[in-house]
Amino acid sequence: MPCRGRLRRALGTWCVPAILSVLMYASSPFPLAHASATLLLEEPYGKLGFFTATGHAAVYLSGVCAETALVLRACGPGELGAVISRYNGVGGYDWVAIPLIPYLYALDRPEDVPLYADPKMVNFLRDQYRRAHLEAVAPDLAGGETPGGNWYELVGSAYDRSAYGFEIETSPEQDAAFIRAYNSAPNRSHFRTVSSNCADFAKHVINFYYPKSLHRSVVADVGITTPKQMARTMVKFSARHPDLQFSRFVIPQVPGSEARSTPVHGVVESFFKSKKYILPSAVVSPIFAGSVAAVYIGTSMGRFDPARQARVYNADRPLEKPLAAEDRRYYQSELNRLMAERLKAENASEAESPRIEKFGRLLRNASPGFDAQGRPVLAIRLGDAVVNVGVSESNILEKESDELASQAGASGVGQIREQILENRLREELRHGAPSKVSESDVARDWKLLHKVVDRLGEQQVARGPAGSMLQGSQARLERAGNQP
């Protein structure tokens, strides 16, 4: 059966049994013929994640694009569709639609996504996108300042949290009916946490395409519609309809100094697994606590794992299997060895400049901005000079930064790049269950680090553990690509 769903081009995926065709044409700019709807189950984060772990739900429609944030239209050739969701307190609107890549990264091109993001960079990218595209829903304050409110959740979601996608094929006819219905209906907010929340909205959207496919759980979630229950019922719906193409994937949180998001739970599950709730309840009312435990054990919510069989999303490549634990330990060991040898080489070389300040302090003192091509940079003071250092795959190796630093008599640009990539790799290789990084992601970052080390003049280090590491990684990837 042929591959279906434009998301397989937008997000990338393997499609069995046509895996060899995907490998040959993964970089094709032409969209696939069929559309799809994807439920996005987004993990909780920050203070809200401390008190409740239900997370957020949105829907990505690959055949529906955003003419504006409030007007939908059919996608043209090469367009990736839009994410549509309900938020509380965003211009008084019930839903807002954002193109896929900006929704995830607050940028238009995936190659410009920062390799390592700190809060200042994230806030800058979001506000720049708001000023360019979202003034209708989040206008400037009277003095031109950035407004408050929840508008920031519309763009750059992947900086705050990981998300799990559950994609099912749709048709252009379904998309056209959806566009007519939602463009013609009033778009005024009636958000209510218990009865009209983000998961309720996602349920209505998916049920528009496939009536009665998603439903809430009166027992496991005490009647509240939750994102995890929507994902669980969507998986069950796909199992009952094997004729509809279906896939699962994880969109990793961008490495950075932002706190990592936490696992998503249902209502009873969240209460049962939280010591700050269940322990006092057990003391005050053992019967109540026992009832909660019985509900949790008796329902399947706790056993539903969003990460099960989920491949890893990368906007530039097909979906891949997560990095295996053994490979993660190997890469981590080689990174430790490489950086130890780099430090030893620096200390032994009189020509090497002193180690620059600690990475966290460096980020706090830097100012985010864009270069002439609109790619993110950090303006960093090195001695008496301020140098713009690229922080994305598309500009981290930009030679202009080296030339400007040399003209100003400053040094340390190479070390800054090295620290960005080292911190990214350490975040990617951090022990976690489940893994949310693919081997291709790690291999790409190793190559960038290898080039940075080359520029720092440590050729023997680059040809040593890092070089053998890259050769071994490439060999494994080539062997994997030849598997049927």
Question: For 300-328, what is each residue's pLDDT tens digit?
Answer: 555 789 999 999 999 888 899 999 999 99
Residue 24 has pLDDT above 70, yes or no: no
Residue 220 has pLDDT above 90, yes or no: no
For 56, 96, 155, the CA distances from 190, given in Å and listed in that order, are 17, 13, 22
Predicted confidence band at 349 (pLDDT cuts at 50, 70, 90)? low
For residues 65-79, average pLDDT: 95
Predicted confidence band at 478 (pLDDT cuts at 50, 70, 90)? very low
- State the Cα–Cα distance between residues 215 and 270, nearest whole angstrom: 19
Residues 6+ apart with CB under 8 A from 479: none
Q: What is the pLDDT of residue 343?
A: 78
- In this prediction the pTM is 0.82
Under 8 Å between Cβ of 162 and 436 = yes
Residue 110 has pLDDT above 70, yes or no: yes
- State the Cα–Cα distance between residues 185 and 48, nearest whole angstrom: 31
Q: How large is the greatest C-alpha to C-alpha distance in the chain, in angstroms?
A: 74
Query: What are the tens digits of pLDDT across the range 132-186?
Result: 999 999 999 998 899 998 899 999 999 999 999 999 999 999 999 999 999 999 9
For residues 107-114, average pLDDT: 96
- The fraction of the chain above a pLDDT of 70, given in percent, is 72
For 54, 234, 306, the CA distances from 272, given in Å and listed in that order, are 13, 24, 19
Residues 6+ apart with CB under 8 A from 476: 439
Strand order in the sheet with 56-61: 96-99, 82-85, 56-61, 36-42, 163-169, 246-251, 311-314, 317-320
Query: What are the tens digits of pLDDT across the range 390-410?
Result: 999 999 998 877 666 666 555
- State the Cα–Cα distance between residues 289 and 271, nearest whole angstrom: 10
Q: What is the pLDDT of residue 224?
A: 86
Q: What is the pLDDT of residue 431?
A: 82
Reference 458, options 322, 343, 325, 327; nearest CA is 343
Q: What is the pLDDT of residue 111?
A: 95
Q: Residue ranges of the domains in the chain? A: 7-266+301-320, 325-481
Residue carrying structure tokens 């193109």: 99
Residue 14 has pLDDT above 80, yes or no: no
- State the Cα–Cα distance between residues 463 and 296, nearest whole angstrom: 54
